[in-house]
Chain A
Amino acid sequence: MEIRDVPCPFCGCLCDDISVRLDDNRILGVENCCTLGNAKFLSKGRLQHPIMRKNGKWVEVSYEEAIDETARILSDAVRPLLYGWSGTVGEAQVVGVHLGEEIGALIDSTTSVCHNPSILAIQEVGHPGCTLGQVKNRADLVIYWGCNPIEAHPRHMSRYTTYADGYFIDNTVTDRKVIVVDIRRSEGAKVADEFIQIKPGGDYLVLSALRAMVRGRDDVVPDSVAGVKKEQLQRVASLMQKAKFGAVFFGLGITMSRGKYKNVRNAIELVSELNRKTKFTISAMRGHFNVYGFNEVLTWMAGYPFAVDFSRGIAFYNPGETTVIDLLERKEPDACLVIASDPGAHFPKSTIEHMAAIPTVQIDPCVNATTALCQVQIPVAITGIEAAGTAYRMDGVPIRMKKIIETNFPTDQEILERIVTRIREMKRDG
């Protein structure tokens, strides 16, 4: 049996043209997918039972016991942290936000360590963005800045930019120019018409130089900016201004490096500048398949897109203080629930050291680095393959994730609802 148009639950591209061949409830093959998505659809090996650490040793336990223990840990906590959320669907995230409000937790997502600075910049100066369909059909100039689509979003170029046919583009190969800006000659840089290699930490300077040039002030730009020659910047500024429709995509190369959200702000302001002369847009290359969705859900429910602290009984948002890394670095949380992410592999050492020192629970189908830091792990259905729901593509377009395989594993949403119910029972019983 073949199921067509399955959305891929890996990255923010959320490619929804995947064909999956099935036999007897098993995936035999996947078509149209990239290497990353392929690996996820065909992944084997998962945690079969809930596990709990007793006397320093892992033992298998029932779902009931694992949920009971999780509810007890979260009820007893004074400063609980609920973290992750980007690898699950909106329906589960909603329950997570309710749980956070109910127990006065701090809730944050992987956004905090990927495009948090992009959101801070957008809150300062706005977001001249568009959907990927607009880029595909109209953009004659595409700029990838501080991102490497070939390795991080492998089908971005073939679905939406360099290799994609566009309604208003006669010949995508000749009519669409690509500029890549990076500190290393990435695979994406090798297929670009123009590659700007910046010295690490130099993005802000180069963005400022381009802004000056677009304003006609080439005279204030020195001969070399962060290792980039002025002639090349002039060439790029000219390409930008001649474009009919330019699209900038940026990644963690500018959000994580020196300057953080000020880099993104400068990039947005360059795009604003360009919009006085032509049409230009800018968008973030979002990572997890539903990292954008959590920002949407938390904004509807609490008014802010990430890092919301419910400990005061109201939604309080102050990035730098209520962001997960800062919270763990201050060693504040006394309990932690991790879901649909793997901070053990992706957080700085000092922060996960604290997670290992407090009662931490993980909801995840697989054994991962975070497993080692936990007291309890509850395995669940794989969202987007064994569980359906709503996810948001990197450009904010909601897409319905499909369930293509039957499973006995409960979904993220079911487990979270059972935890909330159990916490309410414990409160009622005193």
Chain B
Amino acid sequence: MRCTLSSGRTVPQGSFVEHKLSKGYQKATSILYMHPLDLMDLGIESGDRVRVTSDYGSVILTAEATEDIQTNNAYIALGPYANAITGGYTHATGMPDYKDIAVEIEPTDEPVPTVWELMEIIGGVRYGN
């Protein structure tokens, strides 16, 4: 399913800002908010996982229904999950496209990665556990 994805602040995301490696932060930033009709089209329910793919990458997220957005739109809290599918091109303004990202969404059984795992994919080294 083709959707337009935007990212932004949510209270749960903001509350875990000092604890970015916590499960709470991971959960808060890996929820993909979609219209219930779109979930129905995909044949999934709230809590099921989806693979979201843009021109810049792909990431596994947990879908959640909300009627606050229109169909064919999706919303995600800002953070490493959103950025796994955000491109670095800025149209010569310095500002990447954190909103209005064209994405393909499909159901999946794969697990949602942790923040450390996302950092390791791009060459980082986790600290502690």
- A contacts, CB < 8 Å to B: 10, 35-36, 39-40, 43, 45, 51, 53, 56, 58, 112-113, 116-117, 120, 148, 150-152, 154, 183-186, 189, 197, 199-201, 227, 252-253, 255-258, 260-261, 307, 319-321, 323-326, 328-329, 342, 344-353, 356-357, 366-369, 371-373, 377
Contacts and interface: CB of A to CB of B under 8 A. Distances in A.
Nearest to B78: A346
B93 A329 contact: no
A56 B120 CA distance: 12
Contacts of A40: 17-18
A346 B95 CA distance: 12
B80 A344 contact: yes
- 7 A-B pairs with least C-beta separation: A323-B94, A372-B124, A320-B92, A372-B119, A356-B123, A152-B9, A185-B68
Given A112-B94, A151-B11, A350-B87, A356 B79 contact: no
A325 B73 contact: no
A252 B8 contact: yes
Contact of A58 (B67, B69, B120, B125): B125
B68 A186 contact: yes
B86 A319 contact: no
Nearest to B89: A329
B94 to A, nearest CB: 3
Tell me what chain B mostly uses at the interface: helix, strand, loop, or mixed.
loop
A349 B122 contact: yes
B32 interface: no
Contact of B127 (A51, A328, A350): A51
B108 interface: no
Nearest to B91: A260
26 contacts: A45-B18, A58-B128, A112-B95, A148-B8, A151-B11, A154-B11, A252-B98, A253-B6, A253-B8, A255-B95, A257-B97, A258-B97, A261-B93, A323-B90, A324-B94, A344-B80, A349-B85, A356-B119, A366-B18, A366-B19, A367-B20, A367-B21, A369-B20, A369-B80, A371-B127, A373-B119
B14 interface: yes
Given A45-B18, A201-B100, 11 more contacts: A58-B127, A116-B94, A116-B95, A151-B11, A185-B68, A319-B94, A323-B90, A325-B88, A325-B95, A366-B19, A372-B124
Contact of A326 (B18, B73, B94, B97): B94
Interface string B52-87: 000011000000000111100101001110011111
B14 A344 contact: no
B83 A345 contact: yes
A53 B125 contact: yes
